[in-house]
């Protein structure tokens, strides 16, 4: 090293050199491993979509389907019964607000199958027509679910949320139960067109459930006294981060749940005083602090607008008010955009979904 015209030498022992090299190699492997995991996750997601598309492409055309009818009409009838049960079970599981759209016209391939079966095997013509109607219904429902998913994803983006992140959180939710294979054929296989419908409906449900869980009701009908972000701390006068919104009001003012969910905590927290926390699923939680009394218990399910507590001044507080927080995966986010934007967004998307169902 050269310093002020003088040259100095620093000797690094072989042990130190080996340790440094090992550290660099370990860091490199960690980076490559993380990058590899991310790449594999993205590849697997895209790979699954490609495989499903390839399977749809290989679905029997009209000539092959005609051969199936010719070989064993009874087996075809059994397949159609299984498909019908799949459709009926699927319709029964739809959300209450979904009005099943009218079936679209059968596609070209299905129409060709009906014509060929009717000409070659007249006694199977009715079965071919049933199959064509089933496939047209499945195709129409898939488009319907994809359109609702697109609207829900757009609404989430309007609120500053990433739909893909929301879906990944939904996949991490606790779930389980015995494996019940879905099948539409005699060989325990699922027609890829039916499988795509199931996946489209699952995506629609996850996105719309996440939308419904967003804070959309003002928790206290009083004035906003302090916003989210940096402010002067009311106790020591120094700069501090305020992780929520404060609503000032009289002692005992009713406090409402901002959205539906499960009450995950009722009790005292340091600095917050009497606190209620509600888990809305998908990593979303709302917190209500400085309360004077509780009206719910842990584990209770609540709807948006349900009275959960009364305003107070417990904990680190200078007067009667509600401290309201929204947390996603434990990180505090500004509740104001949700309370101001979510009601209009949800109203619009529900109206659009209702119009699409008619």
Query: In Å, what is the CA distance from 121 to each residue of 65, 127, 294?
Result: 12, 10, 72
149 and 7 together in one domain: no
101 and 190 together in one domain: yes
Judge whether 72 lies within some domain. yes
Judge whether 276 lies within some domain. yes
Domain count, the chain: 3
Judge whether 113 lies within some domain. yes
Residue matched to tokens 């079965």: 127
Select from 212, 232, 263 the last residue of a domain: 212
29 and 85 together in one domain: no
Q: Sort residue 305 into left (φ over 0), alpha (ψ -120 to 50) or beta.
A: left
123 and 195 together in one domain: yes
122 and 195 together in one domain: yes
Strands 307-311 and 291-294: antiparallel
What percent of the residues of the chain are helix, what percent strand, and what percent coil, each to the nearest 5? 50, 20, 30
For residues 202 and 286, what is the distance between their CA atoms, to the nearest angstrom? 25
Strands 273-281 and 291-294: unpaired
Q: Which residues pair with 269 in a beta bridge?
A: 273
Structural domain of 47? 1-58
Query: How would you write the pLDDT of the chain (358 residues) with one tens digit per residue?
Result: 444 455 454 454 555 444 444 443 344 334 334 433 443 344 344 445 545 555 454 555 566 766 777 777 788 788 888 888 888 888 777 766 666 665 556 566 667 667 777 777 777 778 888 888 888 888 888 888 898 899 889 888 888 888 888 888 776 665 544 444 555 555 556 678 888 888 888 888 888 888 888 898 999 999 999 888 887 777 677 777 789 999 999 999 999 999 999 999 999 999 999 999 999 988 899 999 999 999 999 999 999 999 999 999 999 999 999 999 999 889 999 999 888 887 777 777 666 655 555 5
As to burial, measured by CB atoms within 10 angstroms (0-12 exposed, 13-18 middle, 19+ buried), residue 183 is middle
Judge whether 146 lies within some domain. yes
Judge whether 234 lies within some domain. yes
Which CATH number fits the domain that encloses residue 330? 2.70.70.10
188 and 89 together in one domain: yes
39 and 126 together in one domain: no
104 and 207 together in one domain: yes
Judge whether 357 lies within some domain. no
Q: How crowded is residue 124: how many other Cβ atoms within 10 Å of its Cβ? A: 19
Strands 229-232 and 245-248: unpaired
Q: How crowded is residue 174: how many other Cβ atoms within 10 Å of its Cβ? A: 5
**Cα angle vertex 149, ends 182, 331, to 5°?**
105
pTM, entire model: 0.65
Describe the strand order of the beta sheet including 307-311 as a list of residue ranges.
254-256, 307-311, 291-294
199 and 74 together in one domain: yes
């Amino acid at each position: 090293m050269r310093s002020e015209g003088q040259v100095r030498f620093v000797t690094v022992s072989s042990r130190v050199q080996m340790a440094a090299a090992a550290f660099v190699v370990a860091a490199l492997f960690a980076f490559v491993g993380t990058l590899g995991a991310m790449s594999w996750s993205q590849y697997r997601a895209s790979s699954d979509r490609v495989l499903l598309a390839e399977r749809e492409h290989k679905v029997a055309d009209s000539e092959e389907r005609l051969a199936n009818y010719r070989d064993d009409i009874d087996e075809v009838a059994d397949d159609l019964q299984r498909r019908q049960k799949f459709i009926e079970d699927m319709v029964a599981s739809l959300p209450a607000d979904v009005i099943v759209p009218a079936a679209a016209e059968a596609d070209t391939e299905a129409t060709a199958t009906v014509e060929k079966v009717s000409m070659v095997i007249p006694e199977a013509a009715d079965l071919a027509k049933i199959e064509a109607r089933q496939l047209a219904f499945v195709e129409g429902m898939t488009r319907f679910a994809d359109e609702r998913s697109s609207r829900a994803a757009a609404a989430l983006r309007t609120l500053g949320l990433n739909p893909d992140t929301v879906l990944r959180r939904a996949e991490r939710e606790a779930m389980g139960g015995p494996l019940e294979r879905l099948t539409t054929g005699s060989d325990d296989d699922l027609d890829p067109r039916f499988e795509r419908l199931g996946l489209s409906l699952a995506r629609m449900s996850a996105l719309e459930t996440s939308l419904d869980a967003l804070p959309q009701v003002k928790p206290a009908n009083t004035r906003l006294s302090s916003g989210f972000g940096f402010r002067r701390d009311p106790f020591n006068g120094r700069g501090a981060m305020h992780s929520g919104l404060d609503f000032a009001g009289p002692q005992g003012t009713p406090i409402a749940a901002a959205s539906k969910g499960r009450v995950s905590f009722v009790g005292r927290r340091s600095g917050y005083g009497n606190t209620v926390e509600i888990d809305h699923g998908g990593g979303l939680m709302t917190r209500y602090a400085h309360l004077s009394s509780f009206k719910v218990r842990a584990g209770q399910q609540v709807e948006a607008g349900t009275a959960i507590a009364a305003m107070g001044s417990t904990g680190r507080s200078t007067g009667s008010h509600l401290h309201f927080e929204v947390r996603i995966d434990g990180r505090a986010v500004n509740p104001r955009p949700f309370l101001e934007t979510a009601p209009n967004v949800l109203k619009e998307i529900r109206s659009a979904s209702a119009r699409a169902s008619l």
